[in-house]
Amino acid sequence: MRTVIEHAWVLTMDPENTCYKDGYIIIEDTKILKAGEGPAPLRGDRCIDAGGAILLPGMVNVHCHVPMIPFRTMGDDCQDRLRRFLFPLEEKAMTPALVYWASLYGIAEMLLSGITTFLDMYYFEEQAAEACDKAGIRGILGETVIGQKTCDSKAPYGGLIYGEEFIQKWQGHPRITPMVCPHATNTSAPEYLQRTFALCEKYHTPFTLHASEMDYEMEEFSKNYHMTPTAFLDSLGLLAPRTLLAHCIHMTPEDLDLVAAKGASVAHCIGSNTKAGKGVAPVKGMTERGIPVGLGTDGPSSGNTLSMFTQFRLFASFHKTANHDRSLFTARDIVRLGTAGGARALGMENLIGSIEPGREADLVMVERGSVNMFPCYNPYSALVYSAERANVSRVWVAGQELVKDGVLTQMDLNEIRRRLWENMGDFIKKSQEFSAII
């Protein structure tokens, strides 16, 4: 099956940042065959006139907890809500069915906003994988390993057993990468951090966890280990090219040097970090050292929206302000973080993240006909400062069109919402125990 898209403003996000103002893309089955300027040199089984819309690689969300849709708008202004009610309510109320329907709903939200690949960390990841498979999105899905009982394990660290079985079942899927991931530096004992890393090495998957995120995490490591969480991970042999550290708000220059030297990557979640008042991660120092950085929405409880456009705008505003430099991080730099940068952070830069021959045909078309998109002199600026989720008109993953005219082609969003709501009854009932907080 060959699809030809013409008359698009193509932002390839290749190493040279090649841009075709009146460009074409040819898709052969699941992959990009060719891209260039002017009329396409080949005809296809399907030809699409983009009408001047912006066409870019699918956006890559490198850190998320997508099944947490039921928690959205709960306790947004609550101090220490992770320990006060998120952990206990998860244990009491999350079920396989709820994870499935919540994952499907969150995936629908991401597809409609142009996200074609996401990394997830949660529980009952088997159900998250089933939702990914049904929806057609690309997912890197991690079963959480944590030193406490959870909704899917009565014993601490049960995620290791569950996770290995999950990996064995789903490994080899063309769009789904199963893995295990420890929750955080301070919620898993050193032995289990190492055991989880060993499992990721055994199955050749990424290794990811929350790191240098919390004030109390920093104090705890300083008091107990006389080192930062980053130095602690390095002392255990856990900083490596497969390592993706989420948040990294409180990293020191010495931490950044370590991460760069060991080839690890960072998932930067500007929306959730600043919403919680935790701070602005030193991304300038990361990029200066060549550390791969991608953008994450975080979960729908932490960041509320699963839109990369929100992250684009917040990233620009906070980092330019924190560094008192309007010229820092151009719009093109920021779009790169959400596409090719995310692919590189996941070790998938040879598969996704750019429009080049041989890459998977994961694409997003952003229309320019809406009131907020005119005039458009700089397409990168339009994406970062003007565009919204509603401007996404079409989305492809592995050559399959999953969004057309701003509507899901393979799923019924209203039906997903209805089924999710049906499965939220017990969750809502149990959440009343925390009504004073939420």
The 10s digit of each residue's pLDDT in 287-346 is: 999 999 999 999 999 999 999 999 999 999 999 999 999 999 999 999 999 999 999 999
Q: List domains and CATH numbers for the chain.
A: 2-57+354-408 (2.30.40.10), 59-345 (3.20.20.140)
Average pLDDT over residues 82-100: 95
Strands 363-366 and 293-295: unpaired
Residue-wise DSSP of 379-413: HHHIIIII--GGGEEEEEETTEEEEETTEESS--H
CB 136 within 8 A of CB 410: yes
The predicted pLDDT at position 436 comes to 86
CB 103 within 8 A of CB 309: no
Confidence label for 105 from pLDDT (cuts 50, 70 and 90): very high
How far, in Å, CA of 363 to CA of 112, rounded?
12
CB 316 within 8 A of CB 384: yes
This model's pTM is above 0.75 = yes
The predicted pLDDT at position 152 comes to 95
Burial class of residue 313 in the structure, from the number of CB atoms within 10 Å of its CB (0-12 exposed, 13-18 middle, 19+ buried): buried
Task: Indicate the DSSP class of residue 150.
Answer: B
Among candidates 308, 221, 229, which has minimal Cα distance to 268? Answer: 308
Tokens representing 188 are 């898993």
- The mean of the pLDDT values for the chain is 97
The residues near 154 (Cβ < 8 Å, ≥ 6 apart) are none
| pLDDT for residue 80 is more than 90 | no
CB 163 within 8 A of CB 145: yes
